[in-house]
Structure 1
Amino acid sequence: MMLIRTTAAYRLLVLGLLGLLLVSCVSVLAFGPASVPLGNVWGILAQQVGLNVDADWSKGQEHIVWLIRAPRVLLGALVGAGLALVGTALQAVTRNPLADPHLLGVSSGAALGAVLVMLYLGDFIGVFSLPLAAFIGAAGSMVLVLAVASHGGRLESDRLLLAGVAVSFVLMALVNLLLYTGDHHTTSSVVFWMLGGLGAARWEVVWLPALCVVIGLGALLVLARGLNALMSGEQTAVSLGFSGRRLRLHVFICTSLLTGVLVSLSGAIGFVGLMVPHMARRLVGAEHRRLLPVSALLGALFLVWVDVAARTLIAPEDLPIGIATAAIGGLFFIMLLRRRR
């Protein structure tokens, strides 16, 4: 695959990915257990934005497209973009190409916080209860991983990955214990949520992940020069005026917030943050001011189409999207390990 180097080619790539994402988001609204003609989909969307069109579709089709599928597709794009951003940033600060929020225990910590709210605490601050608990869990798990991985004041990438896997197992054991001891009627829905899915998408909640993804992308772009320096080594970053410890802290806070909000709405969807950054690097290289936007767009595209497969393969039932990403990501992980060897 040819690496894009010129500014003009990069802008053309970003515009092409944006256009492809827009077309994909509209096209996939036609897929599902109840198919809707693509022409009707365009008409429904045009009517919702205020255009005067002849309505030759049923109220049921309008309800399916606008109230069920449209927020689901938008949430899928946001979750894919956010997880890809998190994976890109974590791979940079850990200098490990196998790092992602799932393998470093961040997703498991977020899941633990969310399960505590769903089973025991309830909506103590309304709609923000689940995202806040997931963020606290994600941040706590990251602190725990860093404490385990630190050795003599240094943070080695291989130790960090191993610590992440170990902490992830411990946290998931706690999650399973909570599920086992909780109310069995509630735990069945929580178990389905943990497998990953976008069925909870509603227009009234989509604004929160959208806001977090936009803020997260902006914050990581501000830190992009530091990420580039850190990829070259700790000493290089220090010589260029960056504090590795402070930069990691900022990145970990940002990625924990993103992961917490996304996991609270979609469950634990693994391996998106592992795969997508590698695809983006094949296109634009490792310069993070270019890499981050392309990773976000590719992640959004990837999860939008994986969701189509999840809701059509065993229709009318929904296949948990985490199963599909885990199958694809596991094969990708094996391929990466073989290439590194």
Structure 2
Amino acid sequence: MQFIDQARIAVKGGRGGDGIVAFRREKYVPAGGPAGGDGGRGGDVLLLADANLQTLLDFKYRRLFQAVDGRRGGPNRCTGASGDHLVIRVPCGTEVRDARTGILLGDLTAPGDELLVAAGGRGGLGNAHYLSNRNRAPEKFTEGKEGEEWTLQLELKLLAEVGIIGLPNAGKSTLISVLSAARPKIADYPFTTLVPNLGVVRRPSGDGTVFADIPGLIAGAAQGAGLGHDFLRHIERTRLLIHLLDAASPTLLEDLAVVERELSAYGHGLAQRPRLVVLNKIELLQPEDLAQALEAVEAAVDPGSRSVLAISAAASRNLDALLNLVWQELEAAKPAQPLGAPLGLG
């Protein structure tokens, strides 16, 4: 399945039905008077968060969504049928913005969240509404109104509590594969991960926590270099980051600094997000070299605010200690309130 996390679509509410001019004509009802019915209301366009969807792929092939128009009114004051609403299903975690202004219209985070994005037009009035003492046989009616029309920018931001970040080939895919049932592509060359991977890791309490493996960042990622710019948005919702380092890298401290700079450059509070600094691939180092690497990294990070740990994802070493630290950090970083509900267009 192709991973698409951005899409631009046009939505249009249904047009309201026209009112009509009609007069009541029955055998025993002389001068029956005006009886033109109102037009039906046009259908609305709504977005619905669906837990079974994981990508915005459907919007790559269809860009225009229009609800059904209302029907025109009928005789004997019959109101026309309203148009059916159009419900568009999107993945949970989809942000909806006005494509022209960039204003956030809604954030669909929970299954079943709904957002009205284009209201249908009001139906027109039949001539029965214009009866008065001065005009006993009005021939006036109004047409239905056009439905709202918007161009929307959809952005999918994965709903993961823990994000795994780092330079290419740091072992992020290997780590998520041994912690969860996720099976990402793993190889001995950079940029094997081209899309974010999600995996559910079971807590001791039995609950599941979603981990996200974010494609490798490089210098300049926040400005669009490499793959990182496209996927940094996916860690905006995370509560905890695991910054994975290749312990055998000859430029270990520079590797650490590169990713830290990109988090600061991207903004959105990522630089202040709680995170663990984890040295991976310790099986490649001698004990004395590992001790030196740990000492250097501990000296480089902010003391007291970042935990430093050494693991081997490939050899499954110290993973329990890592998970215990993750659960402790998540408990300490519990959000004060849930993610915002849809805002609506007003």
> Could you state the TM-score of these two structures normalised by the residue count of structure 2?
0.21
Q: Which of 1 and 2 has greater Rg?
A: 2
Structure richer in strand, relative to its length: 2
Structure richer in helix, relative to its length: 1
